[in-house]
Amino acid sequence: MEAAAVPRSVAACRPAPALPAARALALPRRALAVSIAAASTRRLHLTARRAADGEGADTAPEAVPIEKRFPPFPSVMDINQIREILPHRFPFLLVDRVIEYKAGEYAVGIKNVTINDNFFPGHFPERPIMPGVLMVEAMAQVGGLVMLQPEVGGSRDNFFFAGIDKVRFRKPVIAGDTLIMRMTLTKYQKRFGLAKMEGKAYVGGDLVCEGEFLLVSATE
């Protein structure tokens, strides 16, 4: 007796063949990606809430407003202390603050360059640039703060800028910049009151001026 033919309806009920391995894994991966994205979004929202509450600033600096990201300059000498040391006065006092100082070795001072400085109307009306000679003068005044300290024995009444050498201007300094000047004592002849100093001035991390300075502080 011949076997009965299998009806087409029975064949249609057979289980479908298994999916290829790559296709079978694709669905869980998509689900995992969606889950990771959702978790990342939750973390971002949580970080934003913490930043708004003043928390988590160390882990999310980009969430801190820009006006809160930069610490103020330290103040080793304020303008009143500087005025007690230097004989210069308006419009030629060109150091606003000393932010670091080591007696008989070096000083770091700052000059806030503002459009209200009296030299800008003439240098230049259409492009306000700080004159190079005034940058050198400001650096010499920072050097004077090193020399005119009691530890060095300088005389405020007999203080002179005696010479400059190898001065180079690297970049222009414009209104709105903060000029940071480091003056380092490299040689001092106390008998003659002669001091040789190395000076470097920066705006941010950019070197804008450098040179060698000779200062004289003579006693009466």
Q: What is the mean pLDDT of residues 9-32?
A: 44
**177 within a domain of the structure (yes/no):** yes
CA–CA separation, 129 vs 124, rounded Å?
Answer: 6
Instruction: Using the predicted structure, report yes or no on whether residue 187 has a pLDDT greater than 80.
Output: yes
State the pLDDT confidence band at 189, using cuts at 50, 70 and 90.
Answer: confident
Question: Averaged over 123-134, what is the pLDDT?
Answer: 95
Check which CATH number belongs to the domain holding 89 and give it: 3.10.129.10
Number of domains in the chain: 1
> Does residue 8 form part of some domain?
no
pLDDT of residue 206: 97
Residues tagged active-site: 123
Confirm whether 23 is domain-assigned: no
Which pLDDT score, from 0 to 100, does residue 152 have? Answer: 63
Q: Is residue 190 part of a domain?
A: yes
pLDDT exceeds 80 at position 39:
no
Query: What's the pLDDT at 13?
Result: 43
Q: What is the pLDDT of residues 75-98, one digit of tens each?
A: 999 999 999 999 899 999 999 999
Residue 77 located in a structural domain: yes
* Residue ranges making up the domain that contains 72: 66-217
Structural domain contains residue 163: yes
Beta strands in the chain (DSSP E): 97-102, 106-112, 159-169, 178-189, 194-203, 206-217
Residue 33 has pLDDT above 50, yes or no: no
Q: Which of 8-12, 105-109, 116-120 has the lowest mean pLDDT?
A: 8-12
What is the full DSSP assignment across 104-172? Answer: TTEEEEEEE--TTSTTTTTS-SSS-B--HHHHHHHHHHHHHHHHTSTTTT--GGGEEEEEEEEEEE-S-
Q: Which residue from 118, 93, 133, 97 is spatially nearest to 175, judged by alpha carbons?
A: 118
Task: Kindly state the average pLDDT of the residues 47-57.
Answer: 52
